[in-house]
Each structure stands twice: as C-alpha cells, then as structure tokens.
C-alpha cells in the first residue's frame, strides 16, 4: 500500500510572508500525522525562504512517523543533517532564483561530489534518497552511487499541457519506477501532485511513497490541515 509523506514547507511560506511566528509548520506536521500521514517532509533551503533550521530541530523532537529532510548537497546542509539526524535525507537541486524545484538532481554530472555526500550521510546512519527526473541513466547512477532510494520528479507529468504529453510523462515515470524496483531501490515520487493528478497512479504499485505538499497546504487554507491530509491519505490508500 502506497504511503504519503506530507511536505509542510508552505505553511512556513505563509509565516515568512510576515516574518512572524505563525502558522507553525510544527503544528501542521502534528495535524498531518494525526490525519494519517506516514512521514513529514521539509526542504531546508540555503536561502531559508520558508523552513528554518529551528523548524527542523523541533520537528526532530516531535515527529512520530519519520522526518524527511530535503537539502542541497552542500557542506552547510551536511553539517546540519549530521547534527539533527533526520530519518531520511533527500538530495535535491537548488537555484536561488527558482520559484520551486525545477528538475531532478543531475547525479551523472556531479557523481563524485554526490557520492561523497551519500557516503557521509550514511556514515551518520541517515538513509539517502535522490530527487531525480524519470531518466533511466540517472536511476542506474543512483544505484551505482549506493543511494538507498530515489524520488521520481513528477513535475513534468503534473505540468503537462496536453493529454498526449501527460501520458508520455506518465509512461516515463512508470518505466523509471519499474527499473528502480528491479535495481532494488526504494521508489518515492513527488512534486506538483494534487488531488486530481494523484488518481492517475491507481494500479501502479511500484511507488512506495508520495511526497506531497503544496496542494495539501493550499487545500488546508479552506478545510484545515487535518481534513486536507485525510483527503489525500484516502486517495493514496486507494491507489
Ligand atoms: C523537491 C521538491 O520537489 C519539493 O519538495 C520542493 O522542493 C518543495 O520546496 P519548494 O516548494 O520550496 O520548492
Ligand atoms: N519532493 C516533493 C515534495 O516534498 C512536495 O512537493 P510539492 O507537492 O510541494 O510540489
């Protein structure tokens, strides 16, 4: 049965809009777990546009399921991960100018640096996932670099403008998940998924966990966080 990890970044986006102390992503994470979330995701960005180090430190104490830290492969983030020890680190690309994550991490180009980061994280007993495009060479490289799992970037599928394009992108995700499973990698998926696009994954049991944030936080502004997460949990459990 597929699992759901809830990303609470954009609760922090609302807070940082006024640089005050509410809404608190820690409270949102509690509500998400109460509603059945299987994990909590936070992306601690170098520019601290939303999640702050304080959030990650408190979440380490309060999260009852599993704490997933998304981070760029930098010395600063490595030190923070080594100190806080999330259950899982997902290595993601980061550009200061980006509105949100734009693509998967290119681990073929950066394989030496990424390999060192993976080794160091695993030496701290932290599981490592790599956020990559549904690209077979990237997936094979993730296996070669000894990653524990991958997270397939679902952005191109979610942003597709035509049915044809959407089905092509979905086909890439299915193929990528199949290959990753054959390579005995854990297979997660995320970015841009919403209450409509998640339904397309019905019957595809190669994905272990979906990481979803923005669409849940958006719905929570109308229904409340617990209900928004319950609604997404119900859809993910039906897949
Ligand atoms: C890696 C990914 O797709 C998302 O977790 C995203 O990074 C969330 O953070 P932003 O919305 O700040 O990009
Ligand atoms: N890695 C994807 C994630 O954590 C949430 O992405 P989004 O649903 O906020 O686009």
pLDDT tens by residue, 104-113: 999 999 999 9
Residue with tokens 């696009």: 197
Closest approach atom of ligand 1 to CA 211? 5
Using the structure block, give the residue that is written with the tokens 């077979």. Answer: 136
Domain locations in the chain as residue ranges: 3-237
Q: What pLDDT, on the 0 to 100 scale, is given for residue 143?
A: 98
**Cα–Cα distance for residue pair 100/96, rounded to 1 Å:** 10
Q: Tell me the CB-side half-sphere exposure of residue 178, using CA atoms within 13 A.
A: 7
* More confident site: 206 or 97: 206
pLDDT digits (tens, 9 = 90+) for 199-239: 999 999 999 999 999 999 999 999 999 999 999 999 999 99
| 133 CA → ligand 1 middle, Å | 14
Give the pLDDT confidence of 18-62 residue by residue, as tens digits.
Answer: 999 999 999 999 999 999 999 999 999 999 999 999 999 999 999
Contact 153, 138 (CB under 8 A): no
Calpha distance 221→1 (Å, rounded)? 28
| Mutate-to-test residue for ligand 2 from 12, 32, 42, 191, highest number of ligand atoms within 8 A of CB | 191
Instruction: Please report how the helices 214-223 and 9-16 are oriented relative to each other, as an axis angle in degrees rounded to 10.
Output: 60
Assembly ipTM? 0.94
Within 10 A of 216 (CB to CB), how many other CB atoms are there?
28
Mean pLDDT across the chain, nearest whole number?
A: 97
Mapped onto helix, strand or coil, the DSSP state of residue 4 is: strand
- Ligand 1 residue neighbourhood (C-beta within 6 Å): 7, 9, 43, 70, 92, 100-101, 131, 190-191, 213
Report the nearest atom of ligand 2 relative to the CA of 194: 8
From ligand 1's centre to the CA of 19, what distance in Å? 20
| pLDDT at site 67 | 99
The pLDDT of residue 96 is above 90: no
Q: What is the pLDDT of residue 138?
A: 98
% pLDDT > 90, the chain: 97
Q: Identify the sign of the CA torsion 202, 218, 208, 191.
A: positive
Tokens of 171: 């086909």
Q: Which CATH architecture has domain 3-237?
A: Alpha-Beta Barrel (3.20)
Q: How far is the CA of 130 from the centre of ligand 2 (A)?
A: 14
pLDDT score of 101? 87
């Amino acid at each position: 049965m597929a699992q759901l990890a809830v990303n609470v970044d954009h609760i922090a986006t609302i807070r940082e809009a006024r640089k005050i102390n509410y809404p608190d992503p820690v409270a949102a994470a509690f509500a998400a777990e109460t509603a059945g979330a299987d994990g909590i995701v936070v992306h601690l960005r170098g520019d601290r546009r939303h999640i702050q180090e304080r959030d990650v430190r408190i979440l380490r104490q309060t999260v009852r399921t599993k704490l997933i830290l998304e981070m760029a492969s930098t010395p600063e983030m490595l030190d923070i991960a080594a100190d806080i020890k999330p259950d899982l680190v997902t290595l993601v690309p980061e550009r200061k100018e980006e509105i949100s994550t734009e693509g998967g991490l290119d681990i073929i180009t950066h394989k030496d640096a990424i390999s060192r980061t993976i080794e160091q994280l695993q030496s701290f007993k932290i599981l490592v996932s790599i956020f990559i495009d549904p690209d077979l060479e990237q997936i094979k490289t993730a296996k070669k670099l000894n990653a524990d799992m991958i997270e397939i970037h679902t952005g191109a599928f979610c942003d597709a403008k035509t049915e044809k394009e959407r089905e092509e992108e979905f086909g890439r995700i299915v193929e990528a998940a199949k290959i990753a499973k054959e390579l005995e990698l854990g297979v997660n998926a995320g970015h841009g998924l919403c209450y409509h696009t998640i339904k397309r994954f019905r019957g595809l049991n190669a994905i272990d966990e979906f990481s979803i944030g923005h669409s849940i936080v958006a719905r929570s502004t109308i229904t409340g966080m617990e209900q928004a997460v319950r609604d997404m949990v119900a859809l993910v459990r039906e897949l």
